[in-house]
Amino acid sequence: MRSRLTVTALVATALLSSALGATPASGRATDPLRDRDRQTAQRHAGVGHGCNFAPRARCGHIRVALDRRTPRNREIRIAYELYPRRMHQRPLLGTIVAVEGGPGYSTTGSRAYYRDLFGPLLDRRQLLLVDNRGTGKSEPIRCRQLQSYQGSYVRAVGRCGRQLGNSSDVYGSAFAARDLVSVLNHLGIDQVDLYGDSYGTFFSQTFAVRHPERLRTLILDSAYFVAGTDPWYSDTNRALREAFRLACQRSPTCSDRPEARCSASPG
């Protein structure tokens, strides 16, 4: 499932370590829906329970409107996992939120990767993982023909769209971003250090634009444009060539690898 280079993870960790050293901003505007979110979550879910795969971690969920534009519509489950700081006897320095790619990957399904990636930072910071609506433990969308990767992709997409009906438009990043706000409100978390990789960068940029008051820092790994992307991926290809060039330039062993020389060559 992973195609990330180790160096990417190391660089992202270094950037995050630097970013997390910043002093939290103060005087942020409060979210007018915060109390309502918390009350709704407490009606429909407990405060969380222990996770059977990680001691001291909290696993839980809240319920939110499938379509917030019509609050009387049906509700869906949004699942989360909260990993406390290891040095619980010392003050908490913040909350890291990580978001998976795809779109469609389960964030909680990558818990081992994120706990390893952020490693030492979790001594005094807690880690929050939330499955976006329609993925993982948050009532995942199931379109068997499309997910089988067999047959006509176009027909499978059409069948999945018909299966979802009118709800097909409420699984976008803006809806998922508001779900994350509801989870933060439920847990009493004000601001977060948000990390996204691949599609997670698309989500994170959407969250930053719509809910800037809930962010302390933002880290994008393998970023995608939110708007204006070339459908033929020429911009991505240019970025890829530049990434290879820089990686080769900084690696003392690059010249020994023919495939690296080919990828990094000009022209």
CATH fold of 6-19+30-229 reads Rossmann fold (3.40.50)
Query: pTM of this prediction?
Result: 0.74
pLDDT exceeds 80 at position 5: no
User: Nearest to residue 108, comparing CAs of 48, 185, 67, 53?
Assistant: 53
d(CA 84, CA 124): 8
Tokens linked to 64: 């939110």
Instruction: Give per-residue pLDDT as tens, 179-209.
Output: 999 999 999 999 999 999 999 999 999 999 9
Question: Letter for the amino acid at 22?
Answer: A
Domain boundaries along the sequence of the chain: 6-19+30-229, 233-267
User: Nearest to residue 111, comparing CAs of 83, 133, 139?
Assistant: 83
Instruction: Give per-residue pLDDT as tens, 66-77.
Output: 998 886 778 999
Cis peptide before 103 (omega within 30 of 0): yes
d(CA 73, CA 170): 12
d(CA 233, CA 85): 40
Per-residue pLDDT, 214: 98
